[in-house]
Chains A and B, each alone.
Chain A
């Protein structure tokens, strides 16, 4: 009897963990009738005070209430209580993933050049071999839930993207500070300020590996065909170590060091490097040493940090209002979804790289 009790208790506990620790659309929050309708007819609710949207286009494959993108957007666009992923933000937080757009260019202020475009059917950029697919929400998210962060799971591939909630675990890929979901009143669950990136292994990036599932050539191994023949130079005068020869921008492996970490200002050159700014882009850290936004990191020249740029350093996962979903920031203000007002493409690069930087007041 006791054994049975303990088993039952464990089962209930597991249910609770699934319901609390995961994102929505998983476990206890995977509500079938949110997305499916059995007979493409529904005259009333399930008695849960949730009045579903009217059925429009259909019936649809897999008994979906609507085509995939349209279905997801019935909740995830312009609705309270659910993260808004398309175009302007219905909610008030700065979205960590930014905003999608539509391939037909119909989203005001979010052209189809500004990130992932729902309905895009062309060649996937960087895919090797080149392939086409229709971009749908389910291209990147497992619609029935997954153990990965944000239910991420690319169609046709498997990968692992772990996350820690409330308390960080450096062995996990992502750290989300507050796991209180929006449906439970957590207003910042999907906010930029709520998420940071660990670096459990310094020989790769789970996030970049996920992106690579479509954008094949955009990430790879040091010395591989994607990044080119790179050379490692333990030049201590440059702050420890330097990599040379990259042919594509790395999304893992390299640490910000030397002038990409910090170079002090002089009479002829401004301060440069990641640590020069009060507000910094997202990077990975094996030790969780991202610092606090609004507070300078140690201004130590020729310092080797464990901070590593990743895809999310320059891009919003969904997109932004800038080309390629880029984050144009110059480090002077808190990050918005686009970076910060008035910042340019060059200033985005100059958050780490010093080329072409100007002294204050120069033009």
Chain B
């Protein structure tokens, strides 16, 4: 092929990738938000109570934000301050920065969010016996995890990019293999009016409202049951008011996965629904070439469904739980179609096993039936 054509293709690919074209980028300077805008002007928290409101977090927020659950003023408590602080007293703590009750946010969070009945259990086996936790599970803290995010102590939320990239060359992302996360990378501990108090790890406070509907009537731990969650996506680009799909927050770390640049109209990476970058997909888009079979997806039976419940999907323009869980050819594939946010008991935090062949994947692709 003509060398000049080669150069043009490469240049086009680089431009389309959305990455800044520089020889090297120093992560120690400049704004590090991975997003192309930010919420401004309208606060989705004001939408709560309206028909279009997403389900925002109800705990660690507002009237359910109890400072003394995480902070201790004097590292000493002779008795509980609130009925919601069970356990033995008197207590003393080793004084910690920010007056936290534990040396690390992960340790602190897991004093409640691991193996405490009535509180979402995010590590290992589920003490609440949910059928399937919406976010899945983490592995052992501080241990490598091939089945999802590695949750670890000692993680500095102010050095996000540097966990994967070297500090003087953004293109070196070798740290990704062992990078760790902290609870407060993705969740705002003081509440932010977003679903699950989720936030942009690269720019906390700038996040759009995240689309999230919980099945009406769900209460208690049922609010964390996977089958009780619906995922809307915005119809247009007014993300401030329409919100955005919840996996928009994954861009902050997994931005290269979102760079779905096609070659000759053929995907080189699995499409990931991304309203912010105008990369919306539908299952029906592959019908013409036979890469997907939307009718099979709609049927909900056969290849891909033999051992795997229907995977999650996004619905563009949905404004209710019912709409956000309506199966159609126009459903979109997003991160949570295949992965659990925290992790699972399968490699890569997948929601299905790669064997028998076609499980999960064939819900859309229907290849193993050929």
Contact surface of A with B, Cβ cutoff 8 Å: 113, 122-123, 125-126, 215, 217-218, 226, 228, 244-249, 267-268, 314, 323-324, 326, 344-346, 349, 355-356, 358-359, 361-363
Q: Is B171 an interface residue (CB 8 A)?
A: no
Which residues of chain A are within 8 angstroms of B77 by Cβ–Cβ distance?
125
Which residues of chain A are within 8 angstroms of B63 by Cβ–Cβ distance?
344, 363
Q: Is B86 an interface residue (CB 8 A)?
A: no
Which residues of chain B are within 8 angstroms of A217 by Cβ–Cβ distance?
74-76
Q: Measured between alpha carbons, how far is A319 from B44 in the docked complex, in Å?
A: 40
Point out the residue from B41, B67, B95, B193 that lies within 8 Å of A349, measured CB to CB: B67
Interface string of B84-107 (1 = CB under 8 A from A): 000000100001111100000000
A356 in contact with B65 (CB, 8 Å): yes
Q: Is B79 an interface residue (CB 8 A)?
A: yes
Point out the residue from A249, A346, A355 that lies within 8 Å of B66, measured CB to CB: A346
5 residue pairs, one from A and one from B, having the closest CB atoms:
A247-B95, A356-B190, A355-B190, A323-B81, A249-B73
Point out the residue from B39, B49, B76 that lies within 8 Å of A126, measured CB to CB: B76
Which residues of chain B are within 8 angstroms of A324 by Cβ–Cβ distance?
81
A323 in contact with B45 (CB, 8 Å): no
B contact residues, range: 35 or more
Q: Measured between alpha carbons, how far is A359 from B9 in the docked complex, in Å?
A: 50
B75 in contact with A248 (CB, 8 Å): yes
**Interchain Cβ contacts under 8 Å between A and B, 8 examples:** A218-B76, A226-B95, A228-B97, A267-B43, A356-B61, A356-B65, A359-B43, A363-B63
Given contacts A268-B39, A361-B46, contact A346 B76 (CB under 8 A): no
Q: Is B78 an interface residue (CB 8 A)?
A: yes
Q: Is B82 an interface residue (CB 8 A)?
A: yes
Which residues of chain B are within 8 angstroms of A228 by Cβ–Cβ distance?
95, 97
Q: Is B167 an interface residue (CB 8 A)?
A: no
Interface string of B34-64 (1 = CB under 8 A from A): 0000011111011011000000000001110
Point out the residue from A314, A323, A355 that lies within 8 Å of B79, measured CB to CB: A323
B40 in contact with A268 (CB, 8 Å): yes
B62 in contact with A363 (CB, 8 Å): yes
Whole-angstrom distance between the Cβ of A165 and the nearest chain B Cβ: 32
Which residues of chain A are within 8 angstroms of B190 by Cβ–Cβ distance?
355-356
Which residues of chain A are within 8 angstroms of B49 by Cβ–Cβ distance?
363
Give the residue name and chain of the B residue nearest to A120 (CB).
B78
Q: Measured between alpha carbons, how far is A253 from B214 in the docked complex, in Å?
A: 48
Which residues of chain A are within 8 angstroms of B39 by Cβ–Cβ distance?
268
Q: Measured between alpha carbons, how far is A358 from B63 in the docked complex, in Å?
A: 10
Whole-angstrom distance between the Cβ of A67 and the nearest chain B Cβ: 24
Give the residue name and chain of the B residue nearest to A124 (CB).
B78
Which residues of chain A are within 8 angstroms of B73 by Cβ–Cβ distance?
248-249, 314
Q: Measured between alpha carbons, how far is A24 from B191 in the docked complex, in Å?
A: 50
Q: Measured between alpha carbons, how far is A195 from B177 in the docked complex, in Å?
A: 61
Which residues of chain B are within 8 angstroms of A345 by Cβ–Cβ distance?
66-68, 81-82
Give the residue name and chain of the B residue nearest to A246 (CB).
B99
Q: Is B80 an interface residue (CB 8 A)?
A: yes
B46 in contact with A126 (CB, 8 Å): no
Q: Measured between alpha carbons, how far is A324 from B78 in the docked complex, in Å?
A: 9
Which residues of chain A are within 8 angstroms of B95 by Cβ–Cβ distance?
226, 228, 247-248
B75 in contact with A356 (CB, 8 Å): no
A323 in contact with B82 (CB, 8 Å): yes
Given contacts A246-B97, A267-B42, A349-B67, contact A125 B81 (CB under 8 A): no
A248 in contact with B99 (CB, 8 Å): yes
